[in-house]
A and B are shown apart, each in its own frame.
Chain A
Amino acid sequence: MALFMILLPLLMAAVALAFPVGRGRPWRPWLFPFTGCAHMALALLALAGIWPESGGVWFALDAPGRIVLLQVSVLYLCCSFYAVGYLRTRQESPNRIFCACLLAFLGVMDLVIWSQHLGVMWVAIEATTLLTAPLIYFKRTRESIEATWKYLMVGSVGIAVALLGTFFLAYSMVHVGPDAPLTTTALLERAPQLSWPWVQAAFVLLLVGYGTKMGLAPMHTWKPDAYGEASGVVGAMLAGCVTSCAFLALVRITHIVNAAGGEAFTSRLLLCLGLFSMAVAGVFMAAQRDFKRMLAYSSVEHMGILAVGLGLGRAALFGTMLHILTNGLTKGVLFLSAGNIHRAYGSKNTDQVRGVLRRLPVSGGLFFVGFLAITGSPPFGPFVSEFSILMGAFAAGRFVIGGAFLVLLMVVFAGMGRTVLRAVQGRAPAQGPGAGSVGPAGPAREGLLLVAPPLVLMLLVLLLGIYIPEPLRVLLQDAARFLGAQP
């Protein structure tokens, strides 16, 4: 099962690479919806437990992994249809590498989700960095080179630090006995006997390393550049999938260190970094004119929320797991609709982008509603998950943390609202200075493939806010119980 899910996208990537097609028959992008649907079906089979797992010790689906698998599959499925529409608007640029990387990317994300071996998981996360670099560089402008360079350098150094942390954790186990595999199950079994100085050092390195990949402040510097220059669909993938996978890695590590008796230690570090990320995001969002960079800071903020939730421990774990889902899906809505707006105006600066609601009623509306959802307004999904984390903070007696969390959420709401309202309200400029601004100030055409995917995602986010289906609730509770259980 695991191998099948990992190999299917890689096979499709090979197909995309192997067959050169002329401009006349652009069938290559249709590999995305095919892979997305097949992958979704496989994921549902795996989640329902219909297909027996036979991945050995290295590959298995743990409870938090199920949540991330569900989120990644749904987001990828929606993005896969959008990608077809997107590549249609960019028929002049060759898309062979783009398609192959975007397909293989799904395979390595599955590898992250399924791998229980920390070394394999590291290799997979590094592979996501390498595969997404060409995606960011797709537009081939000077700015996109700069963004790609920063993304590659910061990401690679961060991930190298994570490798050192993985080695430290492995060495802490050498003290127990030489012949133990570096799998999460083996580490959890031996957790109380692990050498504490090494575990402590390992956690700091792993937090910095995987935190870089998540985009926790102060290691977030690559994020605004990369998200700002990447196209909407790639931005959605980075903000919704890569960050979730990196967070999954951090969840697994924290679980092990907590089991080794380091709960106070991990909680302190996670809460500090989490609240600091939220604060940094709030500050930089306040005066932001570029709406894609604003979304990047929103992603920094939500990674902070996830870290805070994980740091609060048992009481907030249900909300944290739910927040993986709601944040990932809402980021999809925002980035995909932002991509449509960017394309229609040829600019992502709110000095030029005005009156989106008049010019692009559907994308503009989705962008605005997505903004309401991501900032935690009821009745959308993120409201429920953030509220649940907040309640967790108060239930655990962490009133200062809960208060700071609430204040920072309001700061972010105010800062983000200013930029979003500037963009969506008012009248569209008759003829913008950007290259892509064509047509009159009236409503522009919006293709079905470019509008339906964010709409579907938006409806899912709304659904999660109103009613959580029973099977999903069971999955979330399983994950929270699995992570909160004391050895």
Chain B
Amino acid sequence: MTSILNAILVVVLVMNLFVLGASRIHAVIRIVAAQGALLGVIPLLVSEGLRLPTVLVVLATVTIKGVTVPGIMMRALRDAAIKREVEPLISRLASTVLGAGAILLALLYADNLPVTGPHAELLLVPASMATVLVGFILLTTRFTALNQIVGYLVLENGIFIFGMLLVEAMPLVVELGVLLDLVVGIFVICIIVNHINRAFSSLDTRQLASLKE
């Protein structure tokens, strides 16, 4: 079980680098959707025995992270008819290198935190921190609204990975609440994105600069 889980986490880490390096926004959204769906399966591997609440969470996560949220975003993309290219502040190669550095940093830092017995051999803690850091890189170096949402989703994915350490400790009701908030959040954000597009005829957040000191 441990080796399968670690293999999945490595794939997730590689996907982080792909997100940073991808040049077209469609590809970026698809990679993040795949990442989310892959993560959704992890509760099955972590928890002992197959229980109904676990199955429900897995189904909800895979549907929401893998289908619903990317669906909403693709739709916003189509409605807004925006440029397809990712326009980063720093070049894609540089941000990929930065992402690799973040992964290294996470691996080093995670060594300092005490982890209980059954979790000792898992990569959950470093994978979570690395994904959170990659989310921050995306949020700060991309200018279009949809790209920033992608950054937010990657950040959420990182937090979700950490949540796997707590499958036993946190009631699943709360996790469903978190998922619901995520969906509603993305939904509201996408509505705003459409309004931004209509009012500014662009999704470049650099144009949102009339309110300042």
Contacts and interface: CB of A to CB of B under 8 A. Distances in A.
Interface of A: 117, 119-120, 122-123, 126-127, 129-130, 133-134, 137, 140, 142-143, 145-150, 152-153, 156-157, 160, 163-164, 167-168, 170-171, 173-175, 178-182, 195, 197-198, 201, 224-225, 228-229, 284
A150 B208 contact: yes
A174 B208 contact: no
A178 B188 contact: no
Given A120-B177, A126-B181, A163-B178, A142 B210 contact: yes
Contacts of A152: 185, 188-189, 192
Which of B155, B166, B168 has the most A CB atoms < 10 Å from its CB?
B166
7 contacts: A127-B181, A157-B139, A160-B156, A164-B159, A167-B170, A174-B166, A182-B169
Interface stretch (B11-19, B79-87, B195-203): B195-203
B163 interface: yes
Contact of B210 (A126, A146, A179, A198): A146
Contacts of B166: 167, 170-171, 174
B114 interface: yes
Interface of B: 112-114, 116, 132, 139, 145, 148, 152, 155-156, 158-159, 162-163, 165-166, 168-171, 174, 177-178, 180-181, 184-185, 188-189, 192, 195-196, 199-200, 205, 208-211, 213
A163 to B, nearest CB: 5
Given A134-B188, A167-B162, A119 B168 contact: no
Closest 6 CB pairs of A and B: A119-B174, A123-B177, A146-B208, A225-B211, A126-B181, A167-B162
A145 B191 CA distance: 11
A73 B170 CA distance: 31
Contact of B159 (A148, A160, A174): A160
A229 B211 contact: yes
B113 A197 contact: yes
B196 A145 contact: yes
B111 to A, nearest CB: 11
Given A157-B139, A157-B155, A149 B196 contact: yes
A170 B211 contact: no
Contacts of B155: 157, 160
A233 B162 CA distance: 39
A229 B208 CA distance: 14
Contacts of A168: 162
A137 B177 contact: no
Which of A142, A143, A175 has the most B CB atoms < 10 Å from its CB?
A142
B122 to A, nearest CB: 13
A142 B200 CA distance: 8
B148 A198 contact: no
B196 to A, nearest CB: 6
B169 A145 contact: no
Contacts of A156: 152, 185, 189
Nearest to A124: B177
Nearest to B181: A126
A175 B195 CA distance: 48
Contacts of A174: 116, 165-166, 169
Contact of B113 (A160, A178, A180, A198): A198
A168 B177 CA distance: 18
A147 B159 CA distance: 27
Contacts of B189: 152-153, 156
A269 B38 CA distance: 38
